[in-house]
Structure 1
Amino acid sequence: MPARIASDQILRWPLLPVLAAQGLSVRRKAQLLPEPKGPREGRAGRGPRLRLLIAGDSSAAGVGAGTQAQALSGHLVGKLAKHHSVEWRLEATTGHTTEDTINRLQSLQGRFDVVVTALGVNDVTRAVTRKQFVERQTRLVDVLTGTFGARRVVVTAVPQMGRFPALPQPLAWVLGRQAARLDHGLRQVADACPQVRHLTLDLPDDPALAAPDGYHPSPKTYALWAEEAARLLLQV
């Protein structure tokens, strides 16, 4: 029996001129926020050794924060350093898809105990299908748990793009529905591997949680995200 085609997938074709115009408008108005300054690797804390890798796109890189200390890496290392001697590394770049991240990690040497990933937005905007996304995320998990030996991987949910303040309707609806499909696939990838946990951020509609560009997290969101990621990483 053929898979049912969702309403947004049907309507995106007649809506294509509107969606294209809105996409161009969003790009023109977008504030191109830089990746924050600060170290992308280091050591912190005391206790049992914990090797941490953070990998992904612009949100993993901390866009929307002024410094790495205010971004995911800074908040997360601070949380984990209360319990461990943390050796950490950030491998993230604005615009990266899951495939880009896999390619980037191929040249990375070393082993990691725990990993946090943040991917999906660029897969959505590059029209990656759910099937492709699941296949690529599965390969990424294989690299993280196999090549790097991670015993715990936290995959951050694909953001709810329909709630991004920067996106007008119907573009927000179309991208939001596709993001939800990819995230459903990401949950399946996590459920299939005992080392992986899927992290959903249940955030309220609070303007303070978005960066000035209406597209990236604010330092407040990074702090909440790090708290939830640390909780999952520290679970026995």
Structure 2
Amino acid sequence: MRFLALGDSYTIGEGVDEGERWPVRLAGLLRERGLDVGDPRIIARTGWTTDELSAAIDDADPRGPYALVTLLIGVNNQYRGRDAEEYRTQFTDLLRRAIGFADGKASRVVVLSIPDWSVTPFADGRDRAQIAAEIDAYNAINRDEARRAGAHWVDVTPQSRAAGADPAFLVSDGLHPSGRAYAEWARLALPAAVEALGR
């Protein structure tokens, strides 16, 4: 079964080995449960916003159908101070595209929440409360739009807040999650992915 993962630095796994990326770990967990899932095709890059991801999808031109599509995007919109309603419009368009890649079946799409980087050392000297509030607002949007469309929604934000200041859960830049953190995300996403694949 083909697997497409769409996103930004959190999906490409900035600072970790390829095998530690959460989509790769998720595929492994699915195979352990007897689901014949291939390695994910990943369209993601550090720094991408919603519109940049959309443009990259145009360039990559992935051809469905995919049995599973994941979408995690928005932290760079927040980081750049972009408008939340702009995010809603662009996220909804990306979600529509993700559903299209899943053969028009929203039940095959899994959306992950945006982790909260306000708890990381990278946020030192910044308004941590404001960052957290903006992340919450963005996540309310991606949660509501995912549920409205009939896609799955997985909340990894509490894990990011609980572990975000622990060096074991971060790479050397003090911002991006480590392989240990991504293993937790894969575990959190597993039930939704199993359901998406019809088992």
Question: How high is the TM-score relative to the length of structure 2?
Answer: 0.85
In structure 1, C-alpha distance between the alignment counterparts of 2:120 and 2:30, rounded to whole Å: 29
In structure 2, C-alpha distance between the alignment counterparts of 1:199 and 1:51, rounded to whole Å: 23
Alignment of 1:140-155 (within 5 A): 140-149=94-103, 150=105, 151-155=107-111
What is the match of residue 76 of structure 1? 26
Q: Which has the higher helix share?
A: 2
Report the residue type matching 2:36 in the other structure.
S
Report the residue type matching 1:99 in the other structure.
D
Quick one: which of 85, 96, 121 aligns to 2:48?
96
Mean CA deviation greater in 56-65 or 110-119? 110-119
What is the match of residue 22 of structure 1? none
Structure 1: runs of 5 or more not aligned: 1-49
What is the match of residue 60 of structure 1? 11
In structure 1, C-alpha distance between the alignment counterparts of 2:188 and 2:118, rounded to whole Å: 22
Distance 1:113 1:157, change over 3 A: same
The Cα shift of 1:232 comes to 1.0
- Runs of 4+ more than 6 Å apart: none
In structure 2, C-alpha distance between the alignment counterparts of 1:78 and 1:147, rounded to whole Å: 21
The Cα shift of 1:80 comes to 1.4
In structure 2, C-alpha distance between the alignment counterparts of 1:121 and 1:178, rounded to whole Å: 10
Equivalent pair of 1:116/1:229 in contact (CA under 8 Å) = no
Tell me: higher relative CO, structure 1 or 2? Use CA pairs within 8 A at least 6 residues apart.
Answer: 2
Question: How high is the TM-score relative to the length of structure 1?
Answer: 0.73
Mean CA deviation greater in 204-213 or 176-185? 204-213
In structure 2, C-alpha distance between the alignment counterparts of 1:200 and 1:209, rounded to whole Å: 13
Structure 2: runs of 5 or more not aligned: none
- Residues 73-130 of structure 1 show CA distances to partners (whole Å, capped at 9, x for unaligned) of 3311211122222133111111111111122223222321211222121111222211
- Look at both structures and tell me which one has the larger radius of gyration over its CA atoms: 1
In structure 2, C-alpha distance between the alignment counterparts of 1:147 and 1:56, rounded to whole Å: 15
Q: Does 1:233 align with 2:184?
A: no
Q: Does 1:224 align with 2:184?
A: yes
Mean CA deviation greater in 178-187 or 141-150? 141-150
Paired-residue identity, %: 25
What is the match of residue 131 of structure 1? 85
Quick one: which of 171, 175, 191 aligns to 2:147?
191
In structure 1, C-alpha distance between the alignment counterparts of 2:139 and 2:183, rounded to whole Å: 22
Report the residue type matching 1:163 in the other structure.
V
What is the count of residue pairs matched by the alignment? 186
Report the residue type matching 2:108 in the other structure.
R
Q: Give the CA RMSD over aligned residues.
A: 1.8
In structure 2, C-alpha distance between the alignment counterparts of 1:184 and 1:75, rounded to whole Å: 26
